[in-house]
Structure 1
Amino acid sequence: MSLVEVTDLTVEFGSLRAVDGLSFRLERGAALALVGESGSGKSTVASALLGLHHGTGARVGGSVHVAGTDVQGASDEELRRLRGGKAAMVFQDPLSSLDPYYAIGDQIAEVYRVHTRASRRAARARAVEVLEQVGIPDARRRARSRPHEFSGGMRQRALIAMALACEPDLLIADEPTTALDVTVQAQILDLLHTLREETGMGLLLVTHDVGVAAESVDEVLVMRHGRVVEHGRVSAVLGSPSHAYTRELLGAVPRVDVPRTGSQATDEVVLEATGVRREFGRGKRALAAVDDVSLTIRRGETLGIVGESGSGKTTLGRMLVGLLEPTAGAIRYEGQAHTGVNPAVQMVFQDPVSSLNPRRSVGESIADPLRARGERDEGRIRRRVTELLERVGLEGAHYGRYPHEFSGGQRQRVGIARALAADPHVIVCDEPVSALDVTTQAQVVALLGELQKELGLALVFVAHDLAVVRQVSDRVAVMRKGRVVEEGPADEVYDSPQDPYTKQLLAAVPALDPEVAARRRAARRELAAA
């Protein structure tokens, strides 16, 4: 019997059929990726494998067998034995899966004790063992740390360690690298591959990133609207896709080897940072998040700023907008030193959910910059907001809707409309597409490009995704530990990187060719072992 056997699976939530007649198998030791856009049903399938829809009101049809357990007919006790014991799940956001009040090691030990009835001492020893297995340095000491004391990549490793504690036959990884830097993402994908080789477990990877699938699995199952549109070996599906939707997904994936075209940059410097430094804390404990950075942004161009979490790129972006004052150095707008918030320099944030007031309609949020400029005529405000909504691809009738009524891509369009309301000359985009699937990401990037050409905007595009930055940027600055380590025309930085850190970042970008991905993985292993 296969490790996973799914036959004619359907999952309905009220009148919505989220999964519609899905069938597939996964053998022991094999790896399968479920790929598709948000809303395609892939995470719903992953939850069905562990019986997580039981008792939720969802209607589940068809048959699901996992590691010899009939999930549909299983009792609560059988499902408890399955979850964590025979099959384990790693979720997208480890912070929401880890208890902030308890040490990482204690949480792993508790999972192990529930399934094995081991003693506390044995469970603590097992926790340290699996933390070492997933590459946590000084695991015995770090087992006593709480989640907030770990970086994002380390938290994801800890969650994988928790999943491995009981030596499951199947690991389900639901978007395990979405919020991670490119180098940390590569480390997690390499870890999953190594664990599969060493333990023989099966891997079901849920992802909207086709490049992540190419790095990690043997087979790909492409989903759309709850149905399978294509299924086969990863090399065949990604190399010669037969379905139009798969070709559309692949076409939307940004490529690190494809330069930007059609820029309308001028020589006029509109925004400038000169020797800026920003410290947090005081005295000996002061931390320089940005240290002696100088950059220029010209009218009509896009400057990409890349780097890992903690590199200082977001802090720099907030100083450019005026949300943070430099500790030293100066920000100049059109040649004049400027302090405080500058209406001519607006920001589009990474998470539109947290930057939009959930209790106010999107129309009112977009209207805020208009009222801040002194506009009092409600008729003119309404007409301008309607124009902006329509300009970013939404409907004027959406004025009275609230943020929760929109998809992630639509909320990001609202954020762009709000930035445009101030008639800016510069927009700083802080990770504006990092949480979006590839087709929605492509739409938002295309919208920014259209607005730039139409309005002559200068854009600062802050991101950890090097492929997206290559797609949109005329020039690129690479940041590490608060400093710019390399800066220049995008083609030069990407095609002939000079700094070892830039080379490291580019080498970690997922490859769509599985053979290339395998060679890169082998090279990273050799480098790590050296």
Structure 2
Amino acid sequence: MSLVEVTDLTVEFGTVRAVDGLSLRLEKGAALGLVGESGSGKSTVASALLGLHRGTGARVGGTVKVAGTDVQEASDDELRRLRGGKAAMVFQDPLSSLDPYYAVGDQIAEVYRVHTRAFRRAARARAVDVLNRVGIADAARRARSRPHEFSGGMRQRALIAMALACEPDLLIADEPTTALDVTVQAQILDLLHTLREETGMGLLLVTHDVGVAAESVDDVLVMRHGRAVEHGAAATLLGAPEHAYTRELLGAVPRVDVPRATAGAGAQPAEVVLEAVGMRREFGRGKGAFAAVDDVSVEIRRGETLGIVGESGSGKTTLGRMLVGLLEPTAGEVRHDGRVLSGVNPAVQMVFQDPVSSLNPRRSVGESIADPLRARGERDEGRIRERVGELLERVGLDPAHYDRYPHEFSGGQRQRVGIARALAADPRAIVCDEPVSALDVTTQAQVVALLGELQRELGLALVFVAHDLAVVRQVSDRVAVMRRGRIVEYGPADEVYESPRDPYTQQLLAAVPALDPAVAAERRSARRELASA
């Protein structure tokens, strides 16, 4: 009997059929990757395996059997025993999955007690054991910490520890590395692989990142519009995809070994538009003060893209905010067109990472785009509406959508709205802070292509802040690698990527997921040897 047997699964929400006739099998100890864009139905399938749609109003058809339990026919008690006992799930956002008021160890212990009826002392010991197993240093002490005291990678490890508490036969991981840096992502993927080897559990990995799937699974099932479009061994499917959609998905994946297709005007001598000189920014006071950015100098020329890469906490976002004027430097200065820039200047705009939080949900997107026009003194509402319509059309949206609200747009469309708002101020430079980190690879490629097109047409200077080295390679003329507030490597993109000098840059590049499972296995082995040395 297979660990997971899904036959002709359908899931409907009102008039929307999110999953349409899907069938799959997963054997004990095997790993299957569900790959597809947002809206493909992959997370809906993962939820159906644990019966999470029960009581939500969703209509579920077909047959779902997990670890011998018929999920559709199971009673509520049987489902409770399945969830966490035989099958466990690790969600995308660990911060929202963990209770902020309770210690991490107590939350893991509670899961263990519910399923095993163990005494409190035994449950706490089990929590420490699984935290240690997933690589949390000083697990006995850290078990008493609350979620906000953990880094993003540690919180994800804690969720995996919680899932492992009852030694499930199946682990479902829903986008477990989406918000993580490449090195932390590599650590989590290595951990999942090691745990599968040691415990023999099955793994269902849900991801929109084809590279993550290549690193982690034996087989891949590609989904689109609720249906399976291709299913096969990871090496075969990723190496020679048969379906046009799979080829499109793979073609959109940014790669560190492919240089930028079209160099910006920065490849030729051009005037410096934006410059940071000796920038330093401190946070905190007294003994608790620390420098998030420490003695950083960069320059960005007209028509050029400067990529700034580094892990969380490297200072790259703080630097970007100082370039825009949203943060005042503790020392050093920002110059625009050779003049010292103080405060916010309309000529330097920003596109933020999360368009949901950067757009007012109570105002139409047209009104949000119009703000910079009104700030410059435009009072003619007809002219404002006409200009906003031009900007919406310029970024690939319908001018008639002026009166729509942010929730009516997809993630990629909302990011286009953010770009349109930045363009409304007629800037000479735009700082993009992780502008595609939350997007699918195809949507990501579209937004990156849009930025490149706007740059060529308008001669914009772009600063592209990201932790994704592959995306930065695709867009940048020059690259600055940041670590602990300082630039450790700086130069033409091709030189930095092809002949990195700093060990930290080498480490970042080695952690980028490989599309070839064989290469991924070699890198994983090398990381293990390095960790045990």
Distance in 1 separating the partners of 2:249 and 2:120: 48
Distance in 1 separating the partners of 2:181 and 2:53: 32
C-alpha displacement of 1:267? 2.5
Aligned to 1:439: 442
Aligned to 2:19: 19
Distance in 2 separating the partners of 1:348 and 1:440: 16
Aligned to 1:280: 283
Secondary structure in 2 matching 1:343: coil
C-alpha displacement of 1:283? 1.8
Gaps of 5+ in 1: none
Aligned to 1:325: 328
CA deviation string 1:428-454 (max 9, x = no partner): 000000000000000000000000001
TM-score, normalized by length of structure 2? 0.99
**Aligned pair partner of 1:371 in 360, 371, 374:** 374
CA deviation string 1:236-277 (max 9, x = no partner): 100000000000000000010010132222421111000000
Secondary structure in 1 matching 2:343: coil
Aligned to 1:316: 319
One-letter amino acid matched to 1:229: V
- Percent of paired sites with the same residue: 88
One-letter amino acid matched to 1:86: K
Secondary structure in 2 matching 1:197: helix
CA deviation string 1:85-104 (max 9, x = no partner): 00000000000100000000
**Aligned pair partner of 1:353 in 352, 356, 379:** 356
Distance in 2 separating the partners of 1:6 and 1:335: 64
One-letter amino acid matched to 1:245: Y
Work out whether 1:149 is the aligned partner of 2:149.
yes
Distance in 2 separating the partners of 1:426 and 1:112: 53
Aligned to 1:400: 403
Aligned to 1:304: 307
Work out whether 1:501 is the aligned partner of 2:504.
yes
Aligned to 1:117: 117
One-letter amino acid matched to 2:419: I
One-letter amino acid matched to 2:368: S
Distance in 1 separating the partners of 2:251 and 2:208: 13
Secondary structure in 2 matching 1:296: strand
Alignment: residue pair count:
530
Aligned to 1:165: 165
Distance in 2 separating the partners of 1:521 and 1:282: 42
Aligned to 1:38: 38
Aligned to 1:423: 426
Work out whether 1:244 is the aligned partner of 2:244.
yes
Distance in 2 separating the partners of 1:381 and 1:454: 22
Aligned to 2:84: 84
One-letter amino acid matched to 1:264: A
Structure 1 runs (4+) deviating above 3 angstroms are: none
Secondary structure in 1 matching 2:515: coil
Secondary structure in 2 matching 1:369: helix
Gaps of 5+ in 2: none
One-letter amino acid matched to 2:454: L
One-letter amino acid matched to 1:375: E
Distance in 1 separating the partners of 2:207 and 2:275: 39
Secondary structure in 2 matching 1:486: strand
One-letter amino acid matched to 1:248: E
One-letter amino acid matched to 2:347: A
Distance in 1 separating the partners of 2:418 and 2:11: 33
Secondary structure in 2 matching 1:73: coil
Secondary structure in 2 matching 1:470: helix
TM-score, normalized by length of structure 1? 1.00
Distance in 2 separating the partners of 1:168 and 1:138: 25
Distance in 2 separating the partners of 1:420 and 1:443: 17
Aligned to 2:186: 186
